[in-house]
Structure 1
Amino acid sequence: MKIKAIFFDIDDTLYDSTLQTDMARRNTIRAMIEAGLEIEEDEGIKALNEIVEKFGSNYGYHLNELLREFGYEENPRIIAAGIVAYHSTKIAYLVPFPDTIPTLLKLRDLGYGLGVITDGIAVKQWEKLIRLGLQHFFDSVIISEEIGIEKPNPEMFKIAARKIKCKPEEAIMVGDRIDKDIVGANKVGMLTVQLMHGKHMDEIPKNPDEEPDYIISNLRDILKVLKEIKKRN
């Protein structure tokens, strides 16, 4: 069947969110140490990672928890230093992979519909797309908060296909996560492409639902995948 649309995850698919997060947390700890927090950098990063894991990434008081972890009373100066460093670094590292824009341009020229399927808070995900300069490439952007379900719920992928006026089997899903992107898209009959990048790249499929149809190491290789699909058809 002819492929009409290609859907993408955002984090670690269109840009390097793993590097962004690692650098933001490291610079946060460095700034807090400079402002008076007397700890070793590596132990601070370890503690911050554990706090984010415990409370979730959208919790608003990670740095307050960090101070308590090391026996400090709340210190607005130290917390503010960390907040400024964190947000400055997040913005600085919010840049597309070098091949993201050229690949999207080529796909548009070839006539494919393009979409995004992503979990997260809608404003935050749109902010990423806008700061990345990618918002105008996509015919459809499906965000979990706006529809009340998350990947790998198959309905999320069906909604995305309907929005772009194609059948699921006429679409490809490109993402880095087996448990979110690959499983959900496989269940509705989309072709699946796993981009091997970021903190989830070492995860191994445990059953047929988790097996991607194709594996690529960079985004531009989706063009090779499309050529291979055409040959098979």
Structure 2
Amino acid sequence: MLIQAVLFDLFETLISEWRNGKREKGHMFHEIGLNEELFKKEWHKRLDKRMDGTFSNYRSVLIDILRAQNMPIDLKVLDAAQKQRERVKSLPFEQINEEIIGCLSELKRQGIKIGLISNCTPEEITAWEACTLSQYFDDVIFSYKVKCAKPNPEIYLMACKNLKVEPEKVIFIGDGGSNELFGAEQVGMIPYQATWFLSESRKENINIYPKLTHPSELITIIRGEA
């Protein structure tokens, strides 16, 4: 089978938020008056609406949480929280793994179309346009912009339509979050789990899909499919 396109996930596939086993603090829950446990509970409850663009930005999510708790709203604190969130989320874009760049370059050289599907919110991808990665992509889909998120079949089919390719001739690469590999498989794509940024426990958590330990392995697979 001739592979026509490769679709990538973004976080923990092309970039990683983890450094030396830690992820920098991205929330200011104490500053806005919430304890961590309550904040995480309320944050998770709004996951779907955050990913599908119901909330316009991080600040609007915080306002909704505070209103639900009948708590006072300090707009200056929320503005600071918004800026902090944007700063933290931009960090992973500053240093891109050279193996990933090499893989994308080779895909380009071979004439393979390259697409991105990311479940994300506006503040998470403010650094995308200026990032080295952006120049390699023929199509980019951010869930909040299209009001649809993985694993909904529509978002995968949207990417195929944009790239003018059939799902059966597309490889999908992702770390496996949001049940994205299952979603890709359901529409006929060929899913692979990207494990190069994952801990051992996360690698084993999704064990039904073939795993890639290095980006270069993707090139070997495509050459075999050509």
| TM-score, structure 2 as length reference | 0.70
Structure 2: stretches of 5+ with no match in the other structure: none
Q: Normalising to structure 1: TM-score of the pair?
A: 0.68
Over 3 Å counting, the alpha-carbon distance change for 1:219 and 1:136 in structure 2 is: same
Distance 1:148 1:88 in 2: 24
User: Residue type of the partner of 1:187?
Assistant: Q
Q: What is the match of residue 41 of structure 1? A: none
The residue identity in structure 1 corresponding to 2:111 is G
C-alpha contact (below 8 Å) 1:119/1:150 kept by paired residues? yes
For 2:12 and 2:103, the matched residues in 1 are separated by 15
Deviations along 1:84-111, one digit per CA (max 9) or x if unpaired, are 5444333333335412222211110121
Tell me by how many angstroms 1:198 deviates: 4.7
Matching residue of 2:119: 119
1:121-140 map, 5 Å: 121=121, 123-124=122-123, 127-140=126-139
CA contact (8 A) 1:116 1:141 kept: yes
Distance in 2 between residues matched to 1:16 and 1:9, nearest whole Å: 11
Retained in 2: the 8 A contact 1:25–1:45?
A: no
Equivalent residues of 2:93, 2:128 under 8 A apart: no
Q: Which has the greater radius of gyration?
A: 1
| Compared CA separation, residues 224 and 55, structure 1 to 2 (3 A) | same
Shift of the 136–94 alpha-carbon distance from structure 1 to 2, 3 Å rule, reads closer
In structure 1, distance between residues paired with 2:93 and 2:36: 20
- 1:186-231 residue CA offsets vs partner (Å, 9 max, x unmatched): 11211111112358935635xxxx832x21133333223324x43x
Among the aligned pairs, what percent are the same residue? 21
Show the 5 A alignment for 1:171-186: 171-177=170-176, 179-186=178-185
Q: Which amino acid aligns with 1:52?
A: W
Q: Equivalences for 1:70-81 in 2 at 5 Å?
A: none
Q: 1:105 to 1:125 in 2, by over 3 A?
A: farther
With over 3 angstroms needed to count, the CA separation of the structure-2 counterparts of 1:158 and 1:54, relative to structure 1, is: closer
Equivalent-residue separation in structure 2 for 1:226 and 1:149 (angstroms): 29
1:53 aligned to 44, 52, 72, which one? 44
What are the superposed Cα offsets for residues 103-141 of structure 1, whole Å, 9 maximum, x if unpaired? Answer: 2111101211111122234x5566342142322211112
* Number of the residue aligned with 2:221: 225
Q: Which residue of structure 1 aligns with residue 11 of structure 2? A: 11
Amino acid in structure 1 at the alignment position of 2:216 = R
Answer whether contact 2:103 2:216 (CA < 8 A) is retained: yes
In structure 1, what is the Cα distance between the partners aligned to 2:82 and 2:3?
Answer: 44
* Mean CA deviation greater in 153-162 or 3-12: 153-162
SS in 2 for 1:158: helix
> Higher helix fraction: Structure 1 or Structure 2?
1
Cα shift at 1:7? 0.5
Q: Using the alignment, how far apart are the partners of 1:78 and 1:160 within structure 2?
A: 38
Moved more, 93-102 or 187-196: 93-102
Aligned residues of 2:3 and 2:170 also touching (Cα < 8 A)? yes
- Note closer, same or farther for the CA distance 1:217–1:89 as it changes in structure 2 (3 Å cut): same
Q: How many residues align?
A: 212
Asked if 1:23 is matched to 2:24, the reply is yes
